[in-house]
Amino acid sequence: MPQAKVLSSKELRRVLDHVATRPHAARNRAMLLLTHWAAMRIGEVAALRVDDVLGKDGSVKSEIRLDAARTKGKHARTVYVSDRLRKELAAYVKQLPIDTCVDAPLFSTQKRTAFSGNSLCQTVNLIYARAGLEGATSHSGRRSLITSLASKGVGVRVLAAIAGHRDIRVTQAYIDVNDAMMRAAVELGG
């Protein structure tokens, strides 16, 4: 099976523009951006609770701590949240019902139940398909971020930590080498 498509910033904008015209726009935007800007796995996004993201003072945390039960490899990890992602999450949380419990799922289905990892995967894949992005899957956000950071010179060990990989060989397989990266590398050589 081919790897998930790596999205350019223009393609991500296309998906977000599509999401903005559809029901559940704020929810879907926040879910997608957690994969694209924090390299979260779709199952991790599905498992998030409100208190994972919000501090006691109601502000969005700069780090999301995932216990081992909610990660693919059953190893606890910390997800670092950029300032721009914190702003996006704050906007999303503001529109949640006022009576939302702190231990409630951060993202709920139309039926107000938590997404399973599989149902969220299907939802995200459908969003990409409806936005006209062939080959994009729920894994595209992770691959896109890892590839983008690699092209900016971030080391593979840091990339592995961001992705929650224990083996850098897995991380290396995420990186989509492209013409711009090869040109930039050759320029460094003189």
What fold characterizes domain 9-141? hpI Integrase; Chain A (1.10.443)
Q: What is the pLDDT of residue 40?
A: 95
User: What average pLDDT does the segment 22-31 reach?
Assistant: 96
User: What average pLDDT does the segment 43-68 reach?
Assistant: 94
Say how far apart CA 36 and CA 8 lie, in whole Å. Answer: 11
Instruction: Give which of 153, 148, 175, 149 is closest to 12, Cα–Cα.
Output: 148
When comparing pLDDT for 101 and 14, which is higher? Answer: 14
When comparing pLDDT for 96 and 129, which is higher? Answer: 129
- Tokens of residue 65, six digits: 């701590």
Q: What is the pLDDT of residue 153?
A: 87
When comparing pLDDT for 147 and 73, which is higher? Answer: 147
Say how far apart CA 179 and CA 142 lie, in whole Å. Answer: 20
181 has pLDDT over 80: no
User: What average pLDDT does the segment 43-67 reach?
Assistant: 94
Q: What is the pLDDT of residue 1?
A: 64
Element (H or E) spanning 184, and its range?
A: helix 179-189
- Tokens of residue 152, six digits: 């900016």
Residue type, 163: A
Q: What is the mean pLDDT of the chain?
A: 91
97 has pLDDT over 70: yes
Segments making up each domain of the chain, as ranges: 9-141
User: What average pLDDT does the segment 59-63 reach?
Assistant: 96
User: What average pLDDT does the segment 4-30 reach?
Assistant: 96
Q: How many CB atoms lie within 10 A of CB 91?
A: 13
- What is the tens place of the pLDDT at every residue in 103-149? 899 999 988 889 999 999 999 999 999 999 999 999 999 999 998 99
Instruction: Answer yes or no: are the C-beta atoms of 60 and 86 closer than 8 Å.
Output: yes
Instruction: Answer yes or no: are the C-beta atoms of 134 and 159 closer than 8 Å.
Output: no
Say how far apart CA 78 and CA 183 lie, in whole Å. Answer: 34
Element (H or E) spanning 77, and its range?
A: strand 77-80
